[in-house]
Amino acid sequence: MRPLEPGCRYARWIVLALLPLFAAGCAGGGMMMNRPAAPAQPVYTLVHCHDGTGHIAGAVPWILGGKCCCTPTRAMFEVHQSEKTVPADMTYEAYLKLYADKGILIGPGHAGCNNRCASGPHVVFGGKCMAAPTPGTQNYEQVSMGPRTPTP
């Protein structure tokens, strides 16, 4: 083995001296990097259920002063009967008449308008349209979770 040049001898010692420092830095697991915690995201809960969200168990039909805006089908009426959220003596026909008497348009015959039809806005905002809002729209968020104030 041939002898090292004078400059190489120092380079070897520098590398050997720095090696423990690199090892200590890697072993620290990035403890030296102080990243601020991500701000907490607000959690919004479902206020009104409808065909797009699915029924919230125990929710009273909107027409009776509750938060359920699911299409008043016979199957949904039977769900309400089993949950005792409609009067026990109410018939399905009387239930539908409540909507008709208020002039509310209901699905499945009336759907896909995102509550932007002549009967809109959605009933939860005082309109006469009870079609399920279109997923992914601001209207869907507001009908489902209620109006929200923008975050700064």
Q: Quick check: is 40 in a domain? A: no
Number of domains in the chain: 1
Q: Quick check: is 129 in a domain? A: yes
pLDDT, position 146: 86
pLDDT higher than 90, residue 152: no
Residue 81: count other Cβ atoms within 10 Å of its Cβ: 15
How does DSSP assign 81-132, residue by residue?
Answer: HHHT-S-TT--HHHHHHHHHHTT-B-TTTS-SSTT-STT-SBGGGT-SB-PP
Q: Quick check: is 75 in a domain? A: yes
pLDDT in tens, 10-23: 666 666 666 666 66
Distance CA 71, CA 120 (A): 16
Give, as one character, the DSSP assignment of residue 65: T
pLDDT in tens, 29-88: 555 567 777 776 666 689 999 999 999 999 999 999 999 999 999 999 999 999 999 999
Q: Quick check: is 70 in a domain? A: yes
Q: Quick check: is 152 in a domain? A: no
Q: Quick check: is 114 in a domain? A: yes
Q: Quick check: is 39 in a domain? A: no
Asked if residues 114 and 137 have their Cβ atoms less than 8 Å apart, the reply is yes
pLDDT, position 6: 59
Q: Quick check: is 53 in a domain? A: no
pLDDT in tens, 99-127: 999 999 998 788 899 999 999 999 999 99
- In 3D space, the residue among 55, 47, 88, 58 whose CA is nearest the CA of residue 72 turns out to be 55
Q: Phi and psi of 48, rounded to 5°?
A: -120, 130
Asked if residues 71 and 108 have their Cβ atoms less than 8 Å apart, the reply is yes
Q: Which domain holds residue 140?
A: 62-145
pLDDT-based confidence at 133, cuts 50/70/90?
very high
Omega of the bond prior to 36 within 30 degrees of 0, cis? no
Q: Which residue has the tokens 């990035």?
A: 30
Paired strand residues for 122: 129
